[in-house]
Amino acid sequence: MKLKRRTFLKGAAATGALVGLGATQTEFPFQGLMKVDGSDQTTKKVFQNACPRNCYDTCSMLTTVEDGVIQFVEGNPQNTYTNGTICVKGNVYPRTVYSPDRIKYPMRQKGRGSGNWERISWDEAYTEIAENILKIKKEYGSTLPICLNKYSGNFEIMHYGIEGTMSSIGYTTRATGTPCWPAGIDAQTFDFGTILNSDPEKMQKSKYIILWGVNPAWTAVHSMNFIEAAKANGAKVVVIDPILTNTAGKAHDFIQIKSSTDGALALGMAKYILDNGLFDQQWLEKNSKGYREFFGYLDNNITLEWAAEKTGVSVDVIENLAREYATTKPANIWIGYGMQRHTNGGQNVRAIDALAAITGNVGLEGGGANYAQLDSWGFNYHAMIHPPPEGSEGEANRPVNMNNFAADVLAAEDPPIKMMWIAGRNPVQQDPETTLIKKAFHAMDFVVTADLFMNKTVELSDIVLPVTTPFETPGVNVSYWHYWMTLNEQAIKPLHESKSDVEIAMGLSEKMNELEPGSCTYPTSGDLNEWVGKEFNETILEQFGMNTWEEIKDGPVKMKNMEVAWKDGKFRTPSEKYEFYSEEAEQFGHHPLPVYVEEMKSTEDHPYRCITPHWKLSIHSQFQDLDWMEAINDKPYVEIHPELAARHHIKADDLVKVYNEIGYVTVPAKLTRTVQVEEVVIYETWYKNLNYNVNYTVKAIPADMGEKATGMPGIAFHDNFVNLEKV
């Protein structure tokens, strides 16, 4: 036992053990290590896993299992991006798996929101769900009153089987779009033809790195290794952010910009580059469309004084940044998702892209305007693609805006929405306008949520279905940032009565076909390991240099030839050039050029911008709710500049009501000069024992772009204005 305990302590499991979390300690997997006969013999095996969370890093992990119990999880060194380490969240994975708070079996709630849950069998759960679906179908003649809201709880490829569950019962209503990154996707699509970033490992080749509205020290920790390597090679690193982030703390220069004014900074820089002849005429002539029009716009409309006034960054600093950026090659810009969550976010991304293009940094190793990629995602989506049952009413699913979900659900007519299926999604915590979201849930006849933990969305459901963790079900993962693919092996048996989302679809299909033959097309059985293989096709095998899909069992593989995005100069725009002038942008109602679009301003009643970026100890509503995370950090803060705090007589740790016309949140104050005087910061996440949710104050304001690539505009999470009151 002593020996085993030492092994166990290697992982972050140690955190919990060392801080001694009292009662919950009995739930630790130590027991599994004690052999009944007292001997020291255990079976030990290491499995390959992939972290499937919505995160740049999508890590390749190795999971050590003894006697069927996970001992620890570590980074897989075969993946040179993960490079043998994982983040704090990954390290606490054993606690996610063995948490006493996991939902253990299907349950029915008597009275939505009452907390009066009763255990039911899977058969009862399937029966009740199937009966509700069939009832709706009978009453409305279609399955459109059933609405799916799924997003980013688990991005493993087979989890697209959640969409498949709905497709297999007929045409349904779908929460469409993404709250995450769509404005930037459209912007890059107008400019380049799609999103495509260079292999982030190549950042170490850069001589100049601008981290623009991105906080990788928290949100993409492994990328920091390549940034540090570049620094060691003499590169300069500049961070542009409204907050002095941990990332900024590691940079040479930090430029504190007023939120939502990045376009003005980029255009000011472009003007300086133009005036001083620092642009790459040859590159522009050969590769681009509309640069003369863009230069004309700069000449006629942009001055450095204007840019300084807009951004709060002095003319000197803008000039220096522009000169350094344009004259130090290769220069890399990493455009983050945080900076595009604004009403002009897409347009600001276009202005930054233009900087990379005019300086000839596009297509250069160590250069580029890097945002994201989806080129490595060409799977079959076998688990997802299922035809509707024969004779299904209608022709297509009905979209509702994921970013205006509550209002759209409540407004839906002909037919109205009566049932919701929520999986891999926590809208009550993660969506804006929480009060309205709750109203939409209460307006339903029937809500089913499949999740791991009893969160705020589960609380408003009628039936909850327990799902597996990635360690309990097989799959395959890729990232939207790096180019590695990782097999996710089943390392342990599913705990309690949990099932994967695909198994749930199979079970439901069986029940539906029992009650009404032909009512569901989802396969009723299947070997999930074989299903992993069904996700592969010739193209993806070729991209990753594999002969057969089974080669992934030998370890993570990396997509070929992705070192430098756009090095072939073949852009995917209509003109096949880089488009400063985009007719497609115009068709979607934007100016064809990357012009400045005015940012949203505060109001007299709500004078402070409140930005709500991503928290270091969570991925949205995951991880921070674990007791081991609570041991490190147990509460949120509103971060306020001391000058602003003094204006409101707020002292450190005072409780502050942060409010606007749609809601409020009460949180203790952290006084810090890392934030600007007129902007407060509250990180978004979920604490299981606190009634805390910043989205009570966040309005569903659309970002400017997103519709082309994702069907719906993005959301301007950071154009949120509030007032403060000491309570």
Ligand X SMILES: Nc1nc2c(c(=O)[nH]1)N[C@H]1C(S)=C(S)[C@@H](COP(=O)(O)OP(=O)(O)OC[C@H]3O[C@@H](n4cnc5c(=O)[nH]c(N)nc54)[C@H](O)[C@@H]3O)O[C@H]1N2
- Return residues touching ligand X (CB under 6 A): 54-56, 151-154, 159, 179-181, 212-215, 218-219, 240-243, 245, 257, 259-260, 262, 336-339, 342, 423-426, 430, 450-453, 455, 467, 501, 611-616, 618-622, 684, 694-695, 698, 717-718
Give the interface segment with Mo ion, choosing from 177-185, 292-300, 314-322, 631-639 (CB under 5 A).
177-185
272 binds, among Mo ion, ligand X, none (CB under 5 to 8 A by kind): none
Q: Closest separation between CB of residue 189 and Mo ion, Å?
A: 18
CA distance 668 to 280: 51
Residue type, 470: P
Cα torsion 687, 692, 694, 695 to 10°: value is 90
List binders of Mo ion among 78-107 (CB under 5 A). none
557-558, strands of its sheet edge to edge: 475-478, 484-488, 557-558
Per DSSP, 159 falls in state G
612 binds, among ligand X, Mo ion, none (CB under 5 to 8 A by kind): ligand X
* DSSP labels, 655-691: EEEEEETTEEEEEEEEE-TTS-TTEEE--B---TTS-
376 binds, among Mo ion, ligand X, none (CB under 5 to 8 A by kind): none
Rounded alpha-carbon distances, angstroms, from residue 62 to 59, 98, 471, 626 = 10, 17, 10, 21
Cβ nearer to ligand X, comparing 326 with 339? 339
Q: Rule CB under 5 A: is residue 180 a binding residue for Mo ion?
A: yes
CA distance 313 to 340: 19
Query: Which residues, 6+ apart, have CB-to-CB distance to 285 below 8 Å?
Result: none
Q: Closest separation between CB of residue 262 and ligand X, Å?
A: 5
CA-wise closest residue to 334 among 203, 192, 194, 479: 203
Using DSSP's 3-state secondary structure scheme, residue 315 falls into helix
CA distance 368 to 446: 48
Cβ nearer to ligand X, comparing 210 with 274? 210
Q: Rule CB under 5 A: is residue 372 a binding residue for Mo ion?
A: no
Q: Can you read off the two tokens belonging to residue 513? A: 């076909």
Cβ nearer to Mo ion, comparing 93 with 481? 481
28 binds, among Mo ion, ligand X, none (CB under 5 to 8 A by kind): none
621 binds, among Mo ion, ligand X, none (CB under 5 to 8 A by kind): ligand X
Cβ nearer to Mo ion, comparing 480 with 721? 480
Q: Closest separation between CB of residue 690 and ligand X, Å?
A: 16
Residue type, 515: L
Q: Closest separation between CB of residue 620 and Mo ion, Å?
A: 7
Question: Does the N-terminal peptide bond of residue 216 adopt cis geometry, omega within 30 degrees of 0?
Answer: no
151 binds, among Mo ion, ligand X, none (CB under 5 to 8 A by kind): ligand X
Rounded alpha-carbon distances, angstroms, from residue 485 to 18, 181, 202, 383, 544 = 35, 22, 18, 18, 8
Cβ nearer to ligand X, comparing 257 with 355? 257
Q: Can you read off the two tokens belonging to residue 571? A: 């852009």
465 neighbors 504 (Cβ within 8 angstroms): yes
200 binds, among Mo ion, ligand X, none (CB under 5 to 8 A by kind): none
Which residues, in sequence order, are bridge partners of residue 448? 421, 463
Q: Closest separation between CB of residue 89 and Mo ion, Å?
A: 15
Cβ nearer to ligand X, comparing 257 with 302? 257
Q: Closest separation between CB of residue 701 and ligand X, Å?
A: 12
Cβ nearer to ligand X, comparing 474 with 613? 613
Q: Closest separation between CB of residue 680 and Mo ion, Å?
A: 21
Cβ nearer to ligand X, comparing 297 with 717? 717
| Matching residue, tokens 């019962």 | 169
CA distance 392 to 85: 49
Rounded alpha-carbon distances, angstroms, from residue 343 to 214, 243, 594, 664 = 18, 19, 14, 22
Q: Closest separation between CB of residue 54 and Mo ion, Å?
A: 5
CA distance 637 to 625: 16
Q: Closest separation between CB of residue 614 and Mo ion, Å?
A: 8
Q: Closest separation between CB of residue 684 and Mo ion, Å?
A: 10
Question: What is the total count of residues that contact Mo ion (CB under 5 A)?
Answer: 1
402 binds, among Mo ion, ligand X, none (CB under 5 to 8 A by kind): none
Q: Can you read off the two tokens belonging to residue 324? A: 């350094």
176 binds, among ligand X, Mo ion, none (CB under 5 to 8 A by kind): none
219 binds, among Mo ion, ligand X, none (CB under 5 to 8 A by kind): ligand X
350 binds, among Mo ion, ligand X, none (CB under 5 to 8 A by kind): none
Query: Which residues, 6+ apart, have CB-to-CB distance to 249 below 8 Å?
Result: 217
CA-wise closest residue to 254 among 680, 675, 612, 682: 675
435 neighbors 696 (Cβ within 8 angstroms): yes
Q: Can you read off the two tokens belonging to residue 630? A: 């609570």
Q: Closest separation between CB of residue 417 and ligand X, Å?
A: 19
Q: Can you read off the two tokens belonging to residue 209? A: 């790195």
Cβ nearer to Mo ion, comparing 336 with 367? 336
15 binds, among ligand X, Mo ion, none (CB under 5 to 8 A by kind): none
Query: Which residues, 6+ apart, have CB-to-CB distance to 303 below 8 Å?
Result: 268, 271
Cβ nearer to Mo ion, comparing 164 with 714? 714
Burial class (CB in 10 A: 0-12, 13-18, 19+), 600: middle
Give the interface segment with Mo ion, choosing from 90-98, 175-183, 299-307, 367-375 (CB under 5 A).
175-183
Q: Closest separation between CB of residue 309 and ligand X, Å?
A: 16
313 neighbors 257 (Cβ within 8 angstroms): yes
Q: Closest separation between CB of residue 669 and ligand X, Å?
A: 18
423 binds, among ligand X, Mo ion, none (CB under 5 to 8 A by kind): ligand X
Cβ nearer to Mo ion, comparing 180 with 444? 180
Q: Which residue is nearest to Mo ion (CB)?
A: 180
Cβ nearer to Mo ion, comparing 297 with 337? 337
670 neighbors 307 (Cβ within 8 angstroms): no
Cβ nearer to ligand X, comparing 197 with 695? 695
Binding site for Mo ion (CB under 5 A): 180
